[in-house]
Chains A and B, each alone.
Chain A
Amino acid sequence: MIQITDVTKIYNGPRGQVTGLDRISISITKGSFVTVTGSSGSGKTTLLVTLGGLLRPTTGSVEVDGQHIYSLKKNQLSRYRNRKIGFILQTFNLIPYLNALENVMIPMIFASENKNGGCHPRAESLLERMGLRERSLHLPRELSIGQQQRVAIARALANDPDLILADEPTGNLDPAMAMEILEILRKLNEDEDKTIIMVTHSPMAAAFGTHRLDLRNGRLI
């Protein structure tokens, strides 16, 4: 259960203050597939990073399973993100000098405090689920765009998080690849009861959600 209460985020820029989120309150139940839509600058990504514990709101609270996440200290919040949240980004953000397998292992290495116990088989299994077993030793630049996004999804699932936050995950993909990625997300939601919150511009992608939030000027409409 995710509860956002009266969240406002104000950015202090060189040309004055900009309101990213304006008194947003939402409840999201476990197992939902929520899509967040809105025009550019409407506050979609701000909402996502605020939910992900990456950006402290100016006012209001973010509560996940009864835990006020911004009451946690920095390192506690890092560990919380590591274990509870999987991030899937438009630009994949894979580490360019690590191969697919190593990229998937990173969150597990961080979680195990560098002990490496059981990371390798799980990473291989996740890549196999994404149909990338044969590509596990390839560097990101040696993979297609769609394959890179599937590696990113495998990395997001590394520590088996309850919540997956996806920022325009199909934004850089052609329609066929986009459909493939969306199907993977739907399966994760339906088969594994993962809560998915996905920011998207695409009406096709937005249609995959079970719930939809539309933002304009930092407000829910």
Chain B
Amino acid sequence: MKLNTIIWKELFLRKSQLVSALLAVTLGIAVIVGIQTVAAVSEKAVKIKMENLGANILVLPQSASVDDYYAADIDAPTFPEAYVERILNSALSGVDNLSPKLTRRIDTGSTNVVLTGILPSGELAAKPYWTISGLSGEDTGHIHKGSSGKYADPRLQRTAIETLNRNDVLVGKVVAERLNLTEGGTITLRNHVFTVAGILPETGTVDDNRVFAHLHTVQGILGIGSQISCIEIMGCCSAISDGLLGNLRNILPDTRITTIGQIVSTQIETNSLMEKISLIFLVIILIVGAISIGNFMWANVEERKREIGTMIAIGATRGIIYRLFMTKALVLGAAGGFFGYIIGSAGAMILGPRLAGLAVAPMAVYLLYAVLMAVLISLTGSFIPTFRASRLDPSLIMQEV
């Protein structure tokens, strides 16, 4: 026999008290795990949606407005392309993607088009929904596709665009219809002949009315050197709320930095609301859980006064009394954390799709957090009753005193 035998046998002696104490910790942890699991999945889902929406921060010249960004006037202000390098070299966290752009409305002879110079690496990464038809899988030689398989159904040939050659253009759906352009055809802009590498799918944005070419080619044909009209940035929303905008303003003091407010603020609000709710629940559960365990332990010490007194009389040191009660608290906490994780994860998996419209999978790392938190609650709640037990008067074991 060891001390653990005493702890284990006593633990199951008062089963109803054990169950109620365990239930308080288990349910508390279950609520936290459930909320955190749904919140984490929700955050991930919003992030994916954000990526699909594209950039959420705009860097414009100081004198430009957001309207200039959309109007693309011929004399709209610009700033040096070197600013992109400045951001990249600053090692700012939370910048997921940069897309420098030079946009100008130009005359094709018969009509006006908005020509936008892009750097394929940044722009195409920011817009994974930009796809083109692979023309029954035939390689045009202009575009590198994300996949190279051939399918009977041409719709399955749609692949994400990965690169854009210097003399190629991607054409928005509306402008392609207006100018009667097709993939593989050509378009002449400012005496420069471009091959239409792809017709972009309709997005319902300004992109539908634009012709996209390589930034450096556009700079060349417009004759405005290494200048750009804006940098679109895909910033991580938590980084935006943590001061990414301020840091960008410090790096680029002579620019106007603005967010695509509604998108960003919605996500920040959603995330911060979930965080606040989680925090409130966490605090309440910590307090309620600790009180519940403390109450159980206090009652346990009261009921076992005579037994503890006997143990002290026959030689239990304070260390042994602490081990007896704190090990019990540890077991209760670990069990509460484990069962809380199971119930919380199951609850999130069942309720997540119904309440948040999200498919929720349990997060293994929360098992560790749940057990650690429950053990902390249990040990904290048990400390005062254990302290009291260790200082019980052993002469209580006698009848007459």
Say whether B401 contacts A46, CB under 8 Å.
Answer: yes
Give chain A nearest CB distance to B311 CB in angstroms: 7
Say whether A41 contacts B9, CB under 8 Å.
Answer: no
Say whether A110 contacts B400, CB under 8 Å.
Answer: no
Say whether B318 contacts A74, CB under 8 Å.
Answer: yes
- A contact residues around B394 at 8 Å (CB): 54
Say whether B315 contacts A98, CB under 8 Å.
Answer: no
Say whether B310 contacts A95, CB under 8 Å.
Answer: yes
Q: A52-B313, A97-B13 are in contact. Are A41 and B400 (CB under 8 A)?
A: yes
> Main secondary structure on chain A at its contact with chain B?
helix
Contact pick for B401, options A45, A93, A105, A109, CB 8 Å = A45
The interface stretch among A58-66, A78-86, A128-136, A183-191 is A78-86
* Any B CB within 8 A of the CB of A206: no
Question: A-facing mask of B293-319, CB < 8 A → 1, else 0?
Answer: 000000000000011001111111111
- B contact residues around A87 at 8 Å (CB): 313-314, 397
* Any B CB within 8 A of the CB of A124: no
Docked CA distance A82–B397 (Å) = 15
Docked CA distance A91–B399 (Å) = 8
- Categorize the interface residue count of chain B: 20 to 34
* Any B CB within 8 A of the CB of A48: yes
Say whether B314 contacts A95, CB under 8 Å.
Answer: no
Question: A-facing mask of B314-350, CB < 8 A → 1, else 0?
Answer: 1111111000000000000000000000000000000
* Any A CB within 8 A of the CB of B3: yes
Question: B-facing mask of A41-73, CB < 8 A → 1, else 0?
Answer: 100111011001011000000000000000000
Say whether A93 contacts B315, CB under 8 Å.
Answer: no
* Any B CB within 8 A of the CB of A151: no
* Any A CB within 8 A of the CB of B96: no
Say whether B398 contacts A89, CB under 8 Å.
Answer: yes
Point out which of B6, B10, B318, B401 has the most chain A C-beta atoms below 10 A from its C-beta: B401
Docked CA distance A107–B397 (Å) = 16
Residues of B within 8 A of A (CB): 1-3, 5-6, 9-10, 13, 306-307, 310-320, 393-395, 397-401
Query: Other than the known A87-B397, A107-B314, what 14 A-B pairs have Cβ atoms closer than 8 Å?
Result: A48-B398, A49-B395, A54-B397, A75-B317, A75-B318, A81-B314, A87-B313, A89-B397, A97-B10, A109-B1, A109-B2, A110-B316, A110-B317, A155-B314
Residues of A within 8 A of B (CB): 40-41, 44-46, 48-49, 52, 54-55, 74-75, 78-79, 81-83, 87, 89-91, 93, 95-98, 101-102, 105-107, 109-111, 114, 116, 119-120, 155, 159, 167-168
